[in-house]
Structure 1
Amino acid sequence: MEKKIKTAVCFSISLVEKSAMAYYRLISPMREGGIKIIDGLRSKDSIYDTIQKGDIVFIQRDFPKRFNSYLKIIETAKSLGKPIVYDIDDFLFFLPEKHPDRLMHNFTPALVPMLYALIEADLVVVPSPRLQRELGVWNQNIIVLPNYLDDKLWQMKATRPKTDYRDTLTIGYMGTYSHSPDIEYISPVIENIIKRFPKKVRFQFLGISPPKNIEAYPQVEWTPFLSSSYEEFARFFQEQSIDIFIAPLVDNVFNQCKSAIKYFEYSVMGVPGVYARLEPYISVIRHGRNGLLAYSLDEWKNNIEMLITDSELRIRLAKEAQNTIRDHWLLSQNVNNWLNGLYYGIENGIGESSNRHLLKLLQPINVQLNDGFGELSAKINALESEVIEKEREVSRLSSEVIEKEREVSCLSSEIAELEAEVLDYALSKSWQMTRPLRKLARTLKG
């Protein structure tokens, strides 16, 4: 671009809640690079006026599932000559069969619209080289803008590993529910470690709940995340006291396309860790120098035990990990690289994608899917409202039943009291003495 980017109009669902993805991909690098963000979803102006204020338009991840709105944004951006950048941080087109997001169909309605956005964009930006290779077949105008650690949110903590062999060590794992297959994969190792070091270790799960087979152990604790805000998470996480971190990943293409942000966030805490021997980490970690890498369950067990029993190794790995972050992965030191990458991609990337002919087919498919999912969503919402109303009715009737039961109970008590009173009266001497007179009266009446 001949002029620098001063303002970016961003259409991102995660930007509303300021989640980790919004911070790593948009908020932090743009703030550090002096780019003002206009939140397109919350703008009170028309789409035309909103986009006109920006130098560039960012579409993020699954926003295109709002396909009709997406088409209006793209049409407007093109008419105003604004470059369109599509940012995607995960290989969502290739979710593993047992991945929670796939099982719950969280991204199913967005997949075809996302493919459309991937092909349509003037430039696609991703956080890892592996994801670039996987998505490059759909749009050759794709570059890597790495995730960097925002050193305005994160502060390097001094490495203070416990050195007394009698000290209890806390082994931590941090992640969301989407990582349940990863943590379940090494749960047998965790159970083995607990049994071998019952008084030496405790496991702290932050965010995700522990696997079922270990949750009952007294050495296992769980602290859920109370907010989706990444800024609040960063404050919360930096208050934790952990001695060893683990970062398992099941070996599949989806995980291999991830970035190494867990390594950044673990290491800034001054804590050593064991990481999956997969592409997100092997390009950053030198085994035995600034971290440990594991693939098989035996490797996981041996490496964790090594850190438990060797305090000097913990200190050395933690210090080297922080040196790695300082030298290569702090946002303040890499923001120019991020900006130059974006400028280069825009200047050299705008052009017809070889797959643009597919858009003529994908657009009507997307419109039909959007309408179909919209109708299905409306029906689901209507059914949910009906269920809520029925639940309210059941609750009301239950309250009435409880009230009637109380009334019956009160009446029963009154009847019992009257019966007792009648019995007492029938057994009294006056009642017995007047019995002949009552009998005579009945005879005379008859």
Structure 2
Amino acid sequence: MFFIDTPPRDYSDPWSEDFWSRFATFRKGSHRVAYFYEKADNSTFRYRAYNMVQTLADSTSDVSAGYFFPSDGSGRIDSVLKLADTVVLCRMRYDANISHIVARARSMGKTVLYDVDDLVFDTDLTHLILGTLAQDFKHPGVWDHWFAYISRIGTTLRMCDAAITTNPFLARRITEFSGKPVFIVPNYMNRQQLEFSAALYEDKRARAFQRNGRCHIGYFSGTPTHKRDFDLAVPALASLLERYDHARLFIVGYLSLPPMLERFKDRTEIYPLHDFVNLQRIISLVEINVVPLVDNVFTNCKSELKYFEAAAVGCLTVASPTSTYSAAIEPGVNGWLSSSLEWESVLENAIGDFDKHLDMMQATRDKAVGAYSGSAMLNAILAAVTWRR
């Protein structure tokens, strides 16, 4: 584990502004973009709406943006639609609110875009998705929920003029499903993440990357639906913990300790899900970040966020070679890739003599911060939100 002095940050959601504050930011530019999301949260809303609005606000462009919710009320939403040039519906499910927003926007000649960051719009893939997410096939309510969820997203997507998504692999799936043009704006880190990550990394560097002699492997799950993914690496982790006394395991999120790892629970630390800022501090303590993913169409649509958020605090990643992680990671240069059969050998190379990999961390961090920041994504965002059908 790395030593750091940087304390946890006091955290409150940065998207807690009232409607009129958000509306004032939105109306500043000559081209106005209204992002709609069902309810603010730490995941998709942050990546696909909040970060975009922040990036446009920080830029010198004449494009302004704001994020809004159905709970703002139909009267206020109508005020937003009157001033908007572009409307972006972020992973919203079809309902009366969607019908109203799209109909009103269309009647006023506005461009309506759909932003989706996951392969959750085609009901033909429901069985694959449920299997990947380790859902209970025997429970009829599971099927009812997911078919409704996916079909409502697909319906809204098809109502829009074009789409925005996170990577080329997912973009092709969207085009095949909807026939719509697709713009690519990858997920990236916002200002709060970057600033705190920089402080954490500089703390580690000032200490010459001082460690306690142990090597910590971290798995940052986010939700319990990643059980099947984590299971890919569990046999390798059990073997390494057996053979390397200095190896330790961090698990952060809702995931419980698998039976194969129970005998190592005294060498395992389990943390609850953290806010997105202080999660960076937990990641910064760990030497190796593991991102195992079942290899199928659904997981190949996932973004590489677990790589770049770890890289920002000098943590090296071992990931499954899905489309996005293969594009982001050059093995031995800024991390490692591992097929389902290679986890033990790749992890052994990573932790066996970790000190020889310390020189990778600066290059890995520089590449990630340079490529996954708001300034790096500004042109891609502008190309999407200023497009006209």
Tell me the TM-score normalized by structure 1.
0.69
Q: Which residue of 1 aligns with 2:271?
A: 223
- Aligned partner of 2:325: which letter? Y
**Matched ranges for 1:126-145 at <5 A:** 126-137=165-176, 138-145=178-185
The total of aligned residue pairs comes to 332
Q: Match for 2:186 among 135, 146, 149?
A: 146
Give structure 2 stretches of 5+ with no counterpart. Answer: 1-27, 58-63, 137-141
Contact 2:291–2:317 (8 Å) recurs in 1: yes
**Matched ranges for 1:35-184 at <5 A:** 35-46=64-75, 47-61=77-91, 63-65=92-94, 67-92=95-120, 93=122, 94=125, 95-100=128-133, 102-103=135-136, 104-105=142-143, 106-137=145-176, 138-154=178-194, 155-156=197-198, 157-158=201-202, 167-175=213-221, 176-184=223-231
Q: Deviations over 1:21-54 (max 9, x none)?
A: 1121111122111233141323235243342232
Percent of paired sites with the same residue: 23
Aligned partners of 1:278 and 1:110: how far apart in 2? 25
Aligned partners of 1:72 and 1:169: how far apart in 2? 54
- Aligned partner of 1:220: which letter? T
**Matched ranges for 1:289-368 at <5 A:** 289-297=333-341, 299-343=342-386, 346-347=387-388, 350=389
- Secondary structure of the 2:131 match is coil
Give the RMSD, CA atoms, in angstroms: 2.4
Q: Which residue of 2 aligns with 1:189?
A: 236
Give structure 1 stretches of 5+ with no counterpart. Answer: 227-231, 351-446
Q: Match for 2:286 among 238, 242, 259?
A: 242
Aligned partners of 2:335 and 2:382: how far apart in 1? 30
Instruction: Pick the structure with more helix per residue.
Output: 1
Aligned partners of 1:152 and 1:234: how far apart in 2? 7
Q: Deviations over 1:237-265 (max 9, x none)?
A: 32451121111111011010111111111
Q: CA deviation at 1:340?
A: 2.7
Distance 1:189 1:312, change over 3 A: same
Q: CA deviation at 1:117?
A: 1.7
Aligned partners of 1:82 and 1:273: how far apart in 2? 42
Q: Which residue of 2 aligns with 1:19?
A: 42
2:243 maps to 1:200? no
Contact 1:102–1:108 (8 Å) recurs in 2: no
Aligned partners of 1:38 and 1:91: how far apart in 2? 23
Distance 1:88 1:337, change over 3 A: closer
Aligned partners of 1:249 and 1:18: how far apart in 2? 24
- Secondary structure of the 1:233 match is coil
Rg: which structure is higher?
1
Tell me the TM-score normalized by structure 2.
0.78
Contact 2:35–2:65 (8 Å) recurs in 1: no
Provide runs of 4+ in structure 1 moved above 6 Å.
161-164
Q: Which residue of 1 aligns with 2:14?
A: none
Q: Match for 1:283 among 327, 330, 338?
A: 327
Q: CA deviation at 1:58?
A: 1.6
Distance 1:313 1:249, change over 3 A: farther
Distance 1:38 1:98, change over 3 A: closer
Q: Deviations over 1:164-195 (max 9, x none)?
A: 7x811111110221211100121111111111
